[in-house]
Amino acid sequence: MPELNSTSSDRQKLKELIINADRNQANAFLDSLAVQSSYMEVIHVILEPVLLEIGNMWVKEELSLAQGYVSGKIAEDVFEKTIQAGEFKKERANSKGAVVMGNIEDDYHELGKRMVITFLRAAGWDVYDLGTDVMAEEFVARAIELNAPIIGVSAMMYSTANNVRKVRDEIDAKGLRGKILLATGGAVFNLRPELVHEVGADGTAKSAINSPQLFDRLLGKIK
Amino acid sequence: MNSMERVLMAMKGGKIDRRPVTLILSLYGARLTSCPLKEYYTNPRAYLEGQLAVIEQCRPDIVFTPFVLTAEGEAFGSEVVYIDRNPPNLKKPAITQAGSISALPEPDIDSHPRLLYIREATRLLAAGCQGKRPVAATLLSPMDLPSLIMGIEGWLDTILFDPENTRLMLDKTVKYFIEWGNTLLADGATFLVIPSVFTNPNILTRKMVKEIVIPVLAEAFQEIKGPLVFHHGSNPIAKFMEIYSSLPNVAGFFLDNRDSFAEARKTIGQGKVLFGNIDGPNLWRLKPETIRTECRKLLEERKDDDHFIIATSATDVAFDTPVENIVAMVETVEEFG
For chain A, give the mean pLDDT.
Answer: 90
**Closest CA–CA distance from residue B153 to any residue of chain A (Å):** 5
CA–CA separation, A95 and A122 (whole Å): 11
DSSP A206: S
With contacts defined as CB-CB under 8 Å, which chain A residues touch B85?
159
With contacts defined as CB-CB under 8 Å, which chain B residues touch A109?
90, 151-152
**Closest CA–CA distance from residue B17 to any residue of chain A (Å):** 36
- Record: contact B282-A66, CB cut-off 8 A: no
* Confidence bin at A52 (pLDDT 50/70/90): confident
- Record: contact B153-A110, CB cut-off 8 A: yes
SS3 assignment for B86-112? CCCEEEECCCCCHHHHHHCCCCCCCCC
B91 close contact with A: CB closer than 8 A: yes
Q: Which fold has domain A95-219?
A: Rossmann fold (3.40.50)
List all residues 6 or more positions away from A9 whose beta carbon is below 8 Å from its beta carbon.
Answer: none
With contacts defined as CB-CB under 8 Å, which chain A residues touch B206?
64
**Bridge-partner residues for A129, per DSSP?**
A101
- Record: contact A157-B87, CB cut-off 8 A: no
Q: Does residue A1 surpass a pLDDT of 60?
A: no
pLDDT tens readout for residues A75-96: 889 988 988 887 766 555 568 8
Long-range contacts of A79-82 (CB under 8 A, 24+ apart): A79/A43, A79/A118, A79/A121, A79/A122, A81/A31, A81/A34, A81/A39, A82/A39, A82/A40, A82/A43
Neighbour count for residue B119 (Cβ, 10 Å): 23
Which sign does the torsion angle of CA A48, A52, A57, A58 carry?
positive
- Nearest CB neighbour to B202, from listed A19, A64, A157: A64
- Nearest CB neighbour to B234, from listed A61, A114, A187: A187
Q: Which fold has domain A8-91?
A: 1.10.1240
CA–CA separation, A140 and A127 (whole Å): 15
Instruction: Supply the pLDDT for residue A83.
Output: 81
With contacts defined as CB-CB under 8 Å, which chain B residues touch A107?
89
Instruction: Supply the pLDDT for residue A4.
Output: 66
CA–CA separation, A137 and A161 (whole Å): 16
Instruction: Supply the pLDDT for residue A80.
Output: 85
Distance of CA B179 to the CA centre of its chain: 17
Are A151 and A181 in contact by the 8 Å Cβ rule? The answer is yes
**Closest CA–CA distance from residue A188 to any residue of chain B (Å):** 10
Are B150 and B93 in contact by the 8 Å Cβ rule? The answer is yes
Instruction: Supply the pLDDT for residue B261.
Output: 97
Instruction: Supply the pLDDT for residue A6.
Output: 67
pLDDT tens readout for residues A212-221: 999 999 999 9
**Closest CA–CA distance from residue B93 to any residue of chain A (Å):** 10
Based on the structure, what is the number of domains in chain B? 1
**Closest CA–CA distance from residue B123 to any residue of chain A (Å):** 29
* Confidence bin at A156 (pLDDT 50/70/90): confident
CATH number at residue B34: 3.20.20.210
Which CA distances in Å does B141 have to A81, B80, B175, B214, B282? Answer: 38, 19, 11, 11, 25
Rounded to 10°, the helix A65-84/A111-122 angle is 40
- This complex has an ipTM of 0.91
- Record: contact A110-B202, CB cut-off 8 A: no
Are B5 and B134 in contact by the 8 Å Cβ rule? The answer is no
Domain region containing B267: 3-336
Closest-CA residue of A relative to B148 is A109
Are A76 and B214 in contact by the 8 Å Cβ rule? The answer is no
Are B144 and B233 in contact by the 8 Å Cβ rule? The answer is yes
Collapsed DSSP state (helix, strand, coil) of residue B269:
coil
Q: Does residue A127 surpass a pLDDT of 90?
A: yes
CA–CA separation, B237 and B272 (whole Å): 14
B205 close contact with A: CB closer than 8 A: yes
- Nearest CB neighbour to A66, from listed B83, B204, B282: B204
Which sign does the torsion angle of CA B246, B264, B202, B280 carry?
negative
Instruction: Supply the pLDDT for residue B234.
Output: 86
B86 close contact with A: CB closer than 8 A: yes
B27 close contact with A: CB closer than 8 A: no
- Examine residue A20 and say whether the peptide bond preceding it is cis (omega within 30 degrees of 0): no
Tell me the residues of chain A between 33 and 92 that have a Cβ less than 8 Å away from chain B: 61, 64-67, 69-70
Instruction: Supply the pLDDT for residue A90.
Output: 53
- Span of A116-130, A167-181, B105-119, B273-287 with lowest mean pLDDT: A116-130
Closest-CA residue of B relative to A132 is B91
**Closest CA–CA distance from residue A86 to any residue of chain B (Å):** 28
Walk along chain B (337 residues) in steps of 10 and give the mean pLDDT of each run: 97 94 98 98 98 98 97 97 93 93 94 98 98 97 97 94 96 98 98 96 93 97 98 94 95 97 95 96 96 98 96 97 98 95
pLDDT tens readout for residues B164-183: 999 999 999 999 999 999 99
CA–CA separation, A23 and B253 (whole Å): 34
Which CA distances in Å does B103 have to A52, B112, B172, B174, B301? Answer: 41, 18, 11, 16, 52
Q: Does residue A141 surpass a pLDDT of 80?
A: yes
- Record: contact B159-A70, CB cut-off 8 A: no
Domain boundaries for CATH 3.40.50.280 within chain A = 95-219
**Which of these, A74, A85, A97, lies nearest to A38 by C-alpha position?**
A85
Distance of CA B169 to the CA centre of its chain: 22
- Record: contact B153-A114, CB cut-off 8 A: yes
Are B311 and B22 in contact by the 8 Å Cβ rule? The answer is yes
With contacts defined as CB-CB under 8 Å, which chain A residues touch B201?
64
Radius of gyration of chain B (CA): 19
